[in-house]
């Protein structure tokens, strides 16, 4: 029998080895995924002019991605839970890479809408599937940190994508404009890494030959113990879990919270271009700054949330900062640099993600948690469809971002209220030692 000190050492070694093996690779995959999802925001600096798209067409087409996304979220999460994460992720990546390349050849609004819907359907299941996959490898007390290391791919994708997009917008190869090459160049890595994924990832700890036998036994036993505790406290089937008031409320919270994420992701380059009159390359370089702020905010919030084992306020406070910062942006008038500083602070609302996503798996087990994560992400992400459309509509009508930002503020306030009134039950209790 292992002595307690030996068990502790084995556990520490297992946690470190798992983190080093999985998190950097999953991070790279999500950088590619988010880059292919949002590269349209940089392409818009030239694409909307070349194709004569109005702001309303661009906003609607950008957001309609999430209509296709909605269709396969829950099935995708269940596939990860019950079949094979690595094979499913590989299929997703190859498919979305091919469709991203297809974006380079659109000509009309109809083409734009169709390809964005197909891209959403292709990528569906990746982000929530990874959240489910993390529950196969990390204990509940480690999941916010692990999630933060994965989710910082969101700001990093923009930090990498901004200069790359700015450079590609300036090229003109083989008769194709730079915005078309942006989609081609950024779509190819997804195909390559999709193939690598099949050979690199491992579905479950018991299959991990890169862990020692003692480490495999330790993490398997820890996760099984957590599962037994959750089933003893409360047991839900898949469909029963989807009808739980807490799951429904989390879905509504996510719907309104992601308004802040996608409003900036899609419209920030256009806002900076209009407000400053800078060149495309200067705009893309300036766009890096808010995402550097998001990077550090996510890492800190995920670390502190795990350290204190607190989720509610770690989710609500970043959203509060976002609401205040968007309000100050509206009243900033023609003071560009003040508005830019406010939007940089507003972008840190994204730091709610690492503390929000451990909540469903904290009180639901296995397939119920997988299905619930899929529901929350798919329905909730429709907020990312609504927000760009609303901002584009008001921008065409009023030639101002203020009405659209006001919608974002109201959305954030609703999310904050619902989060602070959420009945989290065992999700907010300290984890067993």
Residue 163 token pair: 């200069």
pLDDT at 389 over 70: yes
Q: What confidence category does residue 406 fall into, taking pLDDT thresholds of 50, 70 and 90?
A: very high
Structure token pair of residue 332: 């900033």
Closest residue by Cα to residue 294 from 336, 353, 376: 353
* Residue 236 pLDDT exceeds 80: no
Burial class from Cβ neighbours inside 10 Å (0-12, 13-18, 19+) for residue 194 reads buried
Q: Using the predicted structure, report yes or no on whether residue 4 has a pLDDT greater than 60.
A: no
**Domains, in order of start, for the chain:** 8-425 (1.20.1250.20)
Buried b (16+ CB within 10 A) or exposed e, 420-429: eebebeebee
Question: Residue 132 — very low, low, confident or very high, per pLDDT cuts 50/70/90?
Answer: confident
pLDDT of residue 366: 53
pTM: predicted TM-score of the whole model, two decimal places: 0.74
pLDDT at 194 (0 to 100): 94
pLDDT in tens, 354-380: 899 888 766 655 556 666 777 787 788
Give me the residues paired with residue 177 across strands. 172
- Inter-residue contact 239 to 246 (CB < 8 Å): no
Which residue in the block uniquely carries the two structure tokens 């390359």? 281
What are the tens digits of pLDDT across the range 46-66? 898 899 999 889 888 888 888
Q: 């450079």: which residue's tokens?
A: 167
Rg (CA), the chain: 21
CA 163 – CA 99 distance, rounded (Å): 23
Q: How confident is residue 428, by pLDDT bands cut at 50, 70 and 90?
A: very low
Short-list 279, 65, 44, CA closest to 177 = 44
Using DSSP, state whether 102 is helix, strand or coil.
Answer: helix
What are 158-216's pLDDT values in tens digits? 888 888 888 888 888 988 889 999 999 989 999 999 999 999 999 999 999 999 999 99
Please classify residue 171 by burial: count the beta carbons closer than 10 Å to its beta carbon, then call 0-12 exposed, 13-18 middle and 19+ buried: middle
Write down the residue that tokens 């990093």 correspond to. 156
Q: What does the pLDDT read at residue 1?
A: 43
Q: What's the pLDDT at 110? A: 95
Q: What pLDDT does residue 316 have?
A: 96
């Amino acid at each position: 029998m292992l002595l307690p000190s030996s068990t502790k050492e084995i556990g520490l070694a297992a946690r470190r080895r798992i983190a080093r093996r999985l998190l950097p690779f999953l991070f790279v995959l999500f950088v590619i995924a988010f880059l292919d999802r949002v590269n349209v925001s940089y392409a818009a600096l030239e694409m909307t002019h070349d194709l004569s798209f109005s702001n309303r067409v661009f906003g609607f087409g950008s957001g309609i991605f999430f209509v296709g996304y909605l269709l396969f979220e829950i099935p995708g999460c269940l596939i990860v839970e019950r079949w094979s994460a690595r094979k499913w992720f590989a299929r997703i990546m190859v498919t979305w890479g091919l469709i991203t390349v297809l974006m380079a050849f659109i000509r009309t609004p109809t083409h734009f809408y169709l390809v964005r819907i197909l891209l959403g359907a292709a990528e569906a299941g990746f982000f929530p599937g990874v959240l489910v996959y993390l529950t196969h490898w990390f204990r509940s007390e480690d999941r916010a940190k692990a999630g933060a290391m994965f989710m910082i791919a969101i700001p990093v994708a923009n930090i990498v994508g901004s200069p790359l997009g700015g450079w590609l917008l300036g090229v003109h190869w083989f008769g194709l404009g730079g915005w078309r090459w942006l989609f081609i160049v950024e779509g190819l890595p997804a195909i390559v890494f999709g193939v690598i994924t099949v050979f690199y990832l491992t579905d479950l700890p018991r299959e991990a030959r890169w862990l020692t036998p003692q480490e495999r036994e330790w993490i398997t036993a820890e996760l099984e113990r957590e599962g037994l505790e959750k089933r003893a406290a409360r047991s839900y089937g898949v469909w029963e879990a989807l009808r739980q008031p807490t799951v429904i409320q989390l879905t509504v919270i996510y719907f309104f919270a992601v308004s802040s994420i996608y409003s900036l992701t899609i419209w920030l380059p256009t806002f900076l271009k209009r407000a400053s009159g800078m060149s495309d390359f200067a705009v893309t370089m300036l766009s890096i700054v808010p995402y550097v702020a998001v990077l550090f905010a996510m890492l800190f919030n995920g670390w502190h949330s795990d350290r204190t084992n607190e989720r509610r306020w770690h989710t609500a406070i970043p959203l509060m900062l976002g609401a205040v910062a968007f309000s100050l942006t509206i009243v900033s008038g023609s003071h560009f640099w003040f508005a830019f500083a406010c939007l940089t602070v507003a972008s840190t609302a994204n730091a709610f993600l690492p503390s929000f996503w451990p909540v469903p798996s904290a009180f639901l087990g296995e397939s119920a948690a997988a299905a619930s994560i899929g529901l929350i992400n798919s329905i909730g992400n429709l907020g990312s469809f609504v927000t760009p459309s609303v901002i584009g509509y008001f921008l065409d009508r009023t030639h101002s971002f203020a009405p659209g930002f006001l919608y974002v503020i109201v959305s954030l306030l609703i999310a904050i209220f619902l989060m602070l009134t959420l009945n989290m039950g065992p999700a907010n209790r300290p984890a067993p030692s």
